[in-house]
Amino acid sequence: MILPRTHLSVALAAVAILAASECSLLASAQANVSFSNYVTMPDGVRLAAEVYLPPGATRDAPLPVLLQLTRYWRAQEDPHTGAAIPSLSSLDRFFLQNGYALVVADVRGTGASFGFRTTEYGEQEVRDGYAVVDWIVNQPWSDGSVGAYGTSYTGTTAEMVTAVNHPTIKAVIPGWSDWDGYTSPVRPYGMLASGFIRTWGSYVGWQDDNNTGQLGASVRRVDGDDDGALLAAAVAEHANNPDVYEVATWAEYRDSDFEGIKFFDMGPTMWLDEIEQSQVPMLVLVSWLDAGTIDGTIQRLTRLTNAQKVLIMASGHGGGGHASPFVVGSDPVAPEPSADEQFAMRLAFFDHYLRGVDNDVLDWPNVRYFTMGEEAFHEADTWPPAASSPRRWFMAADGALDLEPGSDGTDSYTVDFGVTTGSTNRWTTQMGGPVRDLDNRGAMDARMLTYTTAPLEHDLEVTGAPVVMLEVSSDHADGAFFVYLEDVDPAGRSRYVTEGGLRAVHRRPYEPKHLGEPLHSFRQDDALPLVPGEMTELEFRMWPTSVLFRKGHRIRVAIAGADADTFDRLPAEGTPTITLHRGRSGSSILLPVIERE
């Protein structure tokens, strides 16, 4: 069935309802078939792989296979009884009940797999993907077509497995995945996001150690390991894994070397040529409000020529709940599109590329993006959208934000280290929580340096990555600069839209720019301390967004020197006073504007 793209959401909803009803009937009649194996890598290291076949399938009936490479345990069991604990997500079950086989493998140095890790998303972990895929396509239950999918870590491994250029990998679906581990989620803006990385590091450390006391479960043993001797031997090898938080704390710069570990050596940015060479098609799901994953999506879309279909939501990590501050306060709200519609998109994509189904996937827009404030989806075939053009607003006297620069002057701000975006923000959602309580920023605005426009005379859409230019001086040699873009309604209620920031010592520009936007290397030899009292320029991107500022609303820029619940204090001692310079050559923000009638 081929439908015009304007009917995409209706078609997907119908597919989802049909698939869900079929799934319910299948699940009530039969259970999935599952078994596990060790897969031996070329260097002899054995990886644990769990195989799931659809209800009623047999091991000699070939099916298209979907792969997940995970560091979060492929499956679990009760540590006392050995009984299996249900480990499949609703999406996993959805694919199984729609006729796909599923393989979930513990990556090297995790779960029940042997070996140890040198880093997250390391080179050897990526190369292992070839051997795993090769093993899959030589099994009697595989028809020789492989896809990969996942969310977060498994979303990243789904993309990175394309780099091994195995000819049987037909399509991948990375969801809410990491692109550059330094800038998101470990050291955004060059600052340590301890609020996330300490928690995540502890969790994966417990998993690598099979710490049943902390986790209340054990990683599942591979079939035949009845006495657990193989599992114990595998876990013993994990003792050589680095401590994630320790490495993040020590690795201050992008090129910091921690016993041979560098940020340069991890993630998709190391494999751009290989990923592009594969030409594997991708369906990418992401959110405007999920750490910096949206920036990775835009980088991928504009740098790689692989066929890509991108869905940009206003959700938390994984797409399970709405996150637009125009809709969500402290209570949960269902996401748009719904979970069923998201599932249906994935199924249609894999059906097209792995099964050759003649559906409308190729007619989908390249980018379907959600505009907050309007609470509606739009489509684009290029990025930035063709209608987008830059418009500059200047920070002016008396807290104004104007299209004209105004007279020269300065504003002084003493950093308030209690300023925060809270404990349910774009960074905390990386641990699976919601994004909430960003719909009323007035109390925090009063503790920041703010600049606000007059009420808008017409609706104004901002879609893309805003660019901030600050002319500042400080009485300290280093410091944090956070900038928030906010919508202020006629009643004076301010809502978070997006943010950006920069650690001052990383201010040296990095060339070449991408999409004309300022970049920074975050390398140690590019670090440039401030000279106290001397004016300098900080220019940086904010995270991309799409928002409709309604007629009568105002645009606000809020500047802070801390985000207390997410980032480490910077500087560690002392309280900087910042002087912001405004006027004809002073501080400003460049917004990517799409005109509205």
pLDDT in tens, 442-464: 999 999 999 999 999 999 999 99
What digits encode the pLDDT tens for the residues 558-577? 999 999 999 999 999 999 99
Mean pLDDT to the nearest integer, 56-68? 97
Which H helix or E strand runs over 233? Answer: helix 229-237
The burial of 364, by beta-carbon neighbours within 10 Å (0-12 exposed, 13-18 middle, 19 or more buried), is given as buried
Q: How many CA atoms lie within 13 A of 170 on its CB side?
A: 17
Mean pLDDT to the nearest integer, 144-159? 98
What digits encode the pLDDT tens for the residues 22-47? 333 333 345 788 999 999 999 999 99
What distance lies between CA 183 and its chain's CA centroid?
11
In the sheet with 308-313, reading across from the earlier edge strand, the strands are 33-40, 46-53, 101-106, 63-70, 142-151, 169-175, 282-287, 308-313, 367-371, 376-380
Residue 30's pLDDT is what? 58
Residue 518's pLDDT is what? 85
Residue 8's pLDDT is what? 39
Which of 19-28, 271-280, 516-525 shows the lowest per-residue confidence on average (mean pLDDT)?
A: 19-28
What digits encode the pLDDT tens for the residues 493-510? 999 999 999 999 999 998
- pLDDT averaged over the chain? 93
Which phi and psi (to 5°) does residue 249 adopt? -65, -40
Domain boundaries, the chain: 5-380, 389-595
* 5-380 CATH: 3.40.50.1820
Which H helix or E strand runs over 494? Answer: strand 494-503
Name the residue type at position 558.
A
| Predicted confidence (pLDDT) at residue 2 exceeds the cutoff of 50 | no
The burial of 130, by beta-carbon neighbours within 10 Å (0-12 exposed, 13-18 middle, 19 or more buried), is given as middle
Characterize the bridge pairing of strands 142-151 and 63-70: parallel
What distance lies between CA 512 and its chain's CA centroid?
24
Mean pLDDT to the nearest integer, 346-374? 98
Residue 593's pLDDT is what? 98
What distance lies between CA 162 and its chain's CA centroid?
18
Residue 114's pLDDT is what? 98
Beta strands in 54-176 (DSSP E): 63-70, 76-77, 84-85, 101-106, 142-151, 169-175
What digits encode the pLDDT tens for the residues 383-408? 999 999 999 999 999 999 999 999 99
Which H helix or E strand runs over 513? Answer: strand 510-514
Q: What percent of the chain has pLDDT over 70?
A: 95
Nearest to residue 282, comparing CAs of 136, 162, 167, 390?
A: 162
| Predicted confidence (pLDDT) at residue 471 exceeds the cutoff of 60 | yes
Residue 271's pLDDT is what? 96
| Predicted confidence (pLDDT) at residue 18 exceeds the cutoff of 50 | no
Residue 513's pLDDT is what? 75
On whether the CB atoms of residues 548 and 371 are closer than 8 A, the answer is yes
Residue 122's pLDDT band (boundaries 50, 70, 90)?
Answer: very high
| Predicted confidence (pLDDT) at residue 15 exceeds the cutoff of 80 | no
Angle between the 8-29 and 90-97 helix axes, to the nearest 10 degrees? 80
SS3 175: strand
Query: Cα–Cα distance between 585 and 579 in angstroms, integer?
Result: 15
Residue 585's pLDDT is what? 82
SS3 160: helix
Contacts 24+ apart (CB under 8 A), 358-365: 358/2, 359/1, 359/2, 360/1, 360/2, 360/3, 360/5, 360/8, 360/11, 361/309, 363/2, 363/3, 363/4, 363/5, 364/5, 364/8, 364/309, 365/5, 365/8, 365/309
Active site amino acids: 152, 290, 317
| Predicted confidence (pLDDT) at residue 6 exceeds the cutoff of 50 | no
The burial of 338, by beta-carbon neighbours within 10 Å (0-12 exposed, 13-18 middle, 19 or more buried), is given as middle
Per DSSP, 333 falls in state -
Which phi and psi (to 5°) does residue 16 adopt? -65, -45
| Predicted confidence (pLDDT) at residue 295 exceeds the cutoff of 80 | yes
Mean pLDDT to the nearest integer, 528-536? 97
Nearest to residue 281, comparing CAs of 133, 143, 357, 173?
A: 173
In the sheet with 218-219, reading across from the earlier edge strand, the strands are 84-85, 76-77, 218-219
Q: What percent of the chain has pLDDT over 90?
A: 90
> According to the 3-state scheme, what is the secondary structure of 234-302?
HHHHHHHCCCHHHHHHHCCCCCCCECCECHHHCCHHHHHHHHHHHCCCEEEEEECCCCCHHHHHHHHHH
- Answer CATH for 389-595 from 2.60.40.10, 2.60.120.260, 2.40.50.140, 3.30.750.24: 2.60.120.260
Query: Cα–Cα distance between 584 and 313 in angstroms, integer?
Result: 37
Which phi and psi (to 5°) does residue 409 adopt? 180, 180
What digits encode the pLDDT tens for the residues 235-270? 999 999 999 999 999 999 999 987 777 887 789 999
- Output the DSSP codes for 30-65: -PPEEEEEEEE-TTS-EEEEEEEE-TT--TTS-EEE
Mean pLDDT to the nearest integer, 194-220? 97
Which H helix or E strand runs over 349? Answer: helix 339-355
Q: Would the pTM count as exceeding 0.85? A: yes
Mean pLDDT to the nearest integer, 277-288? 98
Distances (CA, A) of 273 to 59, 267, 276, 286, 482: 37, 13, 5, 23, 33
Residue 12's pLDDT is what? 38
